Amino acid sequence: MRTGSWPLAATLLAVTFFTATTLGGAFAIASRTDVVSDLVPLLLPVTIARVWTNPELLAWGLRFSVPTLFILLCHELGHWFACRRHRLPATPPYFLPAPIGLGTFGAFIRIRAAIRSKRELLEVAVAGPFAGFVALLPFALLGVALSEPVRIWIDEAPRADSLLLYLPGESLLVRAASLLVHGPLAEGMVLNPHPFLLAAWVGLFATMLNLLPLAQLDGGHVLYAAVGRAQRRLAAPLWVALAAMGLLWSGWWLWCVVVLVLGLRHPPVLDESAPLAGRDRVWVAVTLVIFLLCFMPVPIRFVALAPG
């Protein structure tokens, strides 16, 4: 059975490195108050030329793209090595380059065989988030330490020429690290994020999305492994809860559509009768803790700064 193409995987990684480096610097700059740039987060010829001929812009891009792709790669390799352990044929990690935004839509692997048991499903599902979370931790902690607290004034009536600022969402992990390093931030204070912190934010965002307990996302696999066929009764209420979060951040509605396309009901494994062991229940609990540490009700927002 074919298990994918490593040359294709390497090519996609190289292309994604190019797009993430080109566009990631623009995102990093747009998240800070002390750097102003008119770079457009689109893969236009003028954007490519400016980034790759300007050492300062290129440095911003590299400080974002290298740790970001490393974190995403660790996540997918976690799944891949778990598949190898269980003799499941799987493709190598395929990265998805993007001509807009961050320069990447993430990465994925495909498993080309049926999962035999709930325990096997659980181990393959949690391996990715565990590996990705471990990989992002040092970048999150170092990124917080290298970020400076600054005060911002938000313009409630923005004009056409107002300066827009990207404010990445703050997870429990980042909030705790910020409290430890910088102490409590006063009202109106935010962190001027170092690119390492933004790379960790991408990893936190990706881990959070993958661990949503729905469909065939990693979190959906974990839920099915833990409760079996009861997942079918929980699917609709969990989907409604996700839709309700769209009132806080409209991007959740896109994920409601994605989940519907994937299917609310998890497909059965070959042997549903084999129960999870006590150790497996611990992995389920650890997965929940990681999800809570990564969770951001509003993953990102844009604000207009008042002239200072």
Q: Can you read off the two tokens belonging to residue 30?
A: 């747009």
In sequence order, the 6+-apart residues with CB closer than 8 A to the CB of 82 are 123, 124, 127, 128
Residue 153: pLDDT over 90: no
Q: What distance in Å separates the CA atoms of residue 192 and residue 182, rounded to the nearest whole number?
A: 12
Instruction: Summarize the confidence of residues 275-281 as an average pLDDT.
Output: 88
What are the residues facing 117 on neighbouring strands?
A: 271
Instruction: Summarize the confidence of residues 12-27 as an average pLDDT.
Output: 95
Give the total residue count for the chain. Answer: 308
- Residue scoring higher pLDDT (262 or 14): 14
Mean pLDDT of the chain: 93
Other beta carbons within 10 Å of 253: 14
Residue 290: pLDDT over 80: yes
How does residue 308 score in pLDDT terms, banded at 50, 70 and 90?
low
What per-residue confidence (pLDDT) applies to 161? 64
Domains of the chain: which residue ranges? 6-305
Q: pLDDT digit string (tens) for 89-115? A: 999 999 999 999 999 999 999 999 999
Q: pLDDT digit string (tens) for 27-62? A: 888 898 888 778 888 999 999 999 999 999 999 999
In terms of Cα–Cα distance, which of 124, 128, 89 is closest to 107?
128
Residue 1: pLDDT over 60: no
What per-residue confidence (pLDDT) applies to 292? 98
Instruction: Summarize the confidence of residues 8-15 as an average pLDDT.
Output: 97
Q: pLDDT digit string (tens) for 111-151? A: 999 999 999 999 999 999 999 999 999 999 999 999 999 99
| The one-letter amino acid at 96 | L
What per-residue confidence (pLDDT) applies to 251? 95
Instruction: Summarize the confidence of residues 203-215 as an average pLDDT.
Output: 96
Other beta carbons within 10 Å of 107: 21
In sequence order, the 6+-apart residues with CB closer than 8 A to the CB of 138 are none
Residue 276: pLDDT over 70: yes
Residue 160: pLDDT over 80: no
Q: What's the pTM value of the predicted model, to 2 decimals?
A: 0.94
Instruction: Provide the percentage of residues in the chain whose pLDDT is more than 90.
Output: 79
Q: pLDDT digit string (tens) for 63-80? A: 999 999 999 999 999 999
In terms of Cα–Cα distance, which of 64, 54, 52, 55 is closest to 25?
64
Contact assessment for residue 266 and residue 220, using Cβ atoms and an 8 Å cutoff: yes
